[in-house]
Amino acid sequence: MDPIPYRRETPGTQPPGLWPDYRSTVLRSPRKPLIALPHTLSEVTGPIFGQDRLQSNDADLTSQHKERPIGDRMIVAGRVLDENGRPVAGTLIEIWQANSAGRYFHPRDSRDAPLDPNFTGGGRTLTDEAGRYRFITIKPGYYPWQNHENAWRPAHIHFSVFGSSFVTRLICQMYFEDDPMLRYDPIYMSVPSEAGRKQLLAKFDYELTMPGFGLGYRFDIVLRGRDATPFEADDHAH
Amino acid sequence: MPIESGWATVGPFFHAVLPWKDGGAMARPETKGEPITIIGCILDAEEQPINDAMIELWQANAAGRYNHPEDTQPGELDPSFQGFGRVTSDAQGCFTVNTIKPGPVRGLGNSWQAPHIEVSVFARGVLKRLVTRLYFEGEPANEHDPVLSLVEETQRRETLMAKPDPKERGRWHFTLRLGGPQETVFFEV
Ligand SMILES: [Fe+2]
């Protein structure tokens, strides 16, 4: 029997390949139309990772070094769901971000802002059976980039998620509500629909906020979901 | 219904987290199958090397079986082989992967797919990952592969072929071009 395919991309949710406002796309975007790949066993399978990929403190970016890093401590938590609203359990999430001064722990980031010896900015975790995850980190700073005159990235955290198959892979960026830089940012603005962009905003959450420790932000991630199940498809046929 | 979260580029600064030490060593000495080395290079539309890319690979084992609960084919799982690889491109835009040649995998209906590896490309300037497949030049099963036959401009199928090293057996060369006249075939999944 053929595998149950995933839904195809919903129009308006995904950035285009070529987006000249983000200059680097010009030489790095295919111009021939993409060919629709049927969802065979190769596409509906994918790597599954366990605890062996994690080290202690991977989910707490403020405890990975001798001292606490500088910056506003915060809790980022949420759920990974699919397009059908079902939780995605036991999936690997990886995050990376700049420090509170807007500098990455990275040899190619040579901007004039301080490195923090107590902050590398990388985290990993697995979602639980309800698709939940939770990181402790510090609020990333703004950083300038060379894309255009006076270009600044809004504060953001990069998220990488696998989901249950090759198709469900997702790498996105989490932003903060009310960030004044959002509308000037060609990467954020490359997501066509307003609903799609809104979904990338973390929301302040009082419930997640920890007394005397840090503010909480909620950020849910939605991966591609299955098309109709064979049973449902059968229903349509009658 | 919730909508799929919007993709974003990995940007240039992912290296402290995403690369894995063993990311290019997909096979171990005890892994069943024919050991192969893939030397890949990734170029932009002006044939310039892309030195800040990440490439992920996903493949079946030598018996054509994926290490995943949805693959219930009869072929045996190999405990020493997950089938996933993750590498980054170097200053020359190239990367090396040591793996085994995958077996043929069932396609849709009664079809069979020629040995292939699923490839994802992530980089600064790539907002959403680019998906392609690596096939092996000279493989007789390529002729009947249902995905290769979706590429109507037959000469573009060449862009999906890893080429055997003329001198060293088991060494394969694969070039990814994100644009330009010889642009690689990319797929929408
Ligand atoms: Fe960034």
**Structural domain spans, chain A:** 1-28+72-232
Q: What is the pLDDT of residue A229?
A: 59
Render pLDDT for A161-194 as a digit per residue (tens, 0 to 9).
Answer: 999 999 999 999 999 999 999 999 999 999 999 9
Residue B45 structure tokens: 């539309």
β-bridge partners, A73: A138
Is A217 in the active site?
no
Question: Are residues A85 and B2, on separate chains, in Cβ contact within 8 Å?
Answer: yes
Q: What share of chain A is helix, strand, coil (3-state, %, to 5)?
A: 15, 25, 60
Q: What does the alpha-carbon distance between residue B89 and residue B160 come to, in Å, rounded to a whole number?
A: 18
Is A104 in the active site?
yes
What is the percentage of chain A residues whose pLDDT exceeds 90?
A: 90
Question: Are B134 and B142 within 8 A, CB to CB?
Answer: no
Render pLDDT for B80-96 as a digit per residue (tens, 0 to 9).
Answer: 999 999 999 999 999 99
- How many A-B residue pairs are in contact by the CB < 8 A criterion? 237
A129 CB-contact burial (10 Å; exposed 0-12 / middle 13-18 / buried 19+)? exposed
pLDDT at A72 over 60: yes
Question: Mean pLDDT for chain A?
Answer: 94
Whole-model pTM above 0.90?
Answer: yes
Question: Are residues B113 and A31, on separate chains, in Cβ contact within 8 Å?
Answer: no
What is the percentage of chain B residues whose pLDDT exceeds 70?
A: 100
pLDDT at A147 over 50: yes
CA distance, residue A238 to nearest chain B CA (Å): 23
Render pLDDT for B118-173 as a digit per residue (tens, 0 to 9).
Answer: 999 999 999 999 999 999 999 999 999 999 999 999 999 999 999 999 999 999 99
Q: Give the confidence band of B20 by pLDDT, cuts at 50, 70, 90.
A: confident
β-bridge partners, A201: A175
Q: Which fold is adopted by the domain A1-28+72-232? A: Protocatechuate 3,4-Dioxygenase, subunit A (2.60.130)
Q: What is the pLDDT of residue A237?
A: 38
Render pLDDT for A92-107 as a digit per residue (tens, 0 to 9).
Answer: 999 999 999 999 999 8
Q: What does the alpha-carbon distance between residue B117 and residue B133 come to, in Å, rounded to a whole number?
A: 6
Q: What is the pLDDT of residue B38?
A: 98
Question: Are residues B50 and A165, on separate chains, in Cβ contact within 8 Å?
Answer: no
Q: Report all structural domains of chain B as residue ranges with CATH numbers, in order of start.
A: 24-177 (2.60.130.10)
Question: Are A134 and A76 within 8 A, CB to CB?
Answer: yes
For B104, the closest chain A residue by CA position comes to A42
CA distance, residue A130 to nearest chain B CA (Å): 16
Other CB atoms within 10 Å distance of the CB of residue A229 = 11
Residue A9 structure tokens: 């991309």
- Name the nearest CA neighbour of B15 among A184, A234, A190, A94: A94
Residue A217 structure tokens: 């932000």
Q: What is the mean pLDDT of residues A13-37?
A: 98
Render pLDDT for A223-234 as a digit per residue (tens, 0 to 9).
Answer: 999 987 555 444
Q: What is the mean pLDDT of residues B4-25?
A: 94
Where do we find the tokens 């020493």? B80
3-state secondary structure A174-235: EEECCCCCHHHCHHHHCCCCHHHHHCCEEEECCCCCECCCEEEEECCEEECCECCCHHHHHH
Interfacial A residues in 109-168 facing B (CB < 8 Å): 109, 120-124, 158, 160, 165-167
Render pLDDT for A85-141 as a digit per residue (tens, 0 to 9).
Answer: 999 999 999 999 999 999 999 988 888 999 999 999 999 999 999 999 999 999 999
What type of residue is A57?
N
CA end-to-end distance (rounded Å), chain B: 20
Q: What is the mean pLDDT of residues B171-184?
A: 98
- Quickly count helices (H) and strands (E) in chain B: 0, 11
Rg over CA atoms, chain B: 16
